[in-house]
A = this chain, B = another copy of it.
Amino acid sequence: MPSRKSLIPAGPGRPRSQEARRAVLDAARYLLEKRGYAATTIEAIAAKSGVAKTTIYRGWQNRAALLIELLVEVVNEAAPPPNRSPSLQALRTELRLGAIALGGISGMLLNSLLGEAQQDPDVRTALLNGLFYPRREASVNAIKQAQALGELRSDVPPHVAVDLLFGPLFYRMFVQHEPVTEQFIRQTLRFTLEGLSTTA
C-alpha cells in the first residue's frame, strides 16, 4: 500500500480516502462514456461509485470541478504534456496528439465544459490553468525557438502563431461541421506553416 502523502502535514482527523477519490473519477469516466455528459450527474456518480454524495461534495466544489480534473487526467494520459525538444517537429507532434487526445470522450467533455465556462468564470479559469496554458506555453516556446533558428518569420507574435496552428483543429472539434481527419491535420500544418515560414 502506498504510504500517505507525507508532503502534506496530515492534520488531525481521519484523512481523505484516496480510494473514494479514485472510485469517483472512475465512475464519472464510465458514465461519460456510456451515457453522456448530461447523465453524468453527481447523483449518478455517487450511485455508481458507491461513494456518498456528501463525500463527493467534500472533495470537489461542484460537478464542473470534478469533470475538469477528470478531463485533465484523461488528456494527460492520452497526450503527455510536452516538456522537451521545443522544435518545429514538436509542434507537429503536439497538434497530432491533440487531435487524438480530444478524439474520445475528452473532446465531448471539453466542449461541454467550455459551455459551462461561459456562465461560470471559475470553470473557465480552471480549464485554462489546468489544460490550456501549460500546453500553450510549450508551443509558444517551440515557436520562439523556431524563430530564433530562422525557421519561422519573426514578425509573427508567437501567441498568434499558436492560434493559427491550433485554431482550425479546435474549430472543427467544437462546431463539428466536418470531421477532424488525419489529412486535415496535415493540411493545417502544411498550409499554415508554409505561410509562416521564411521560405515564403
Contacts and interface: CB of A to CB of B under 8 A. Distances in A.
A156 interface: yes
Interface string A144-167: 000000000000110111011011
A60 interface: no
A56 B199 CA distance: 59
B119 A174 contact: no
Contacts of A170: 167, 170-171, 174-175
A119 B136 CA distance: 27
Most buried by B among A36, A187, A188, A191: A191
Interface string A1-35: 00000000000000000000000000000000000
A187 B157 contact: yes
Contacts of A119: 36-38, 108, 112
Provide the main secondary structure of the chain A interface.
helix
A176 interface: yes
A188 B171 CA distance: 14
A116 interface: yes
Contacts of A113: 115
A163 B156 contact: no
A61 interface: no
A194 interface: yes
A75 interface: no
For the complex of A and B, list the 7 residue pairs with the smallest distance between their C-beta atoms, beginning with the closest.
A195-B195, A115-B115, A167-B168, A167-B171, A167-B167, A111-B118, A163-B168
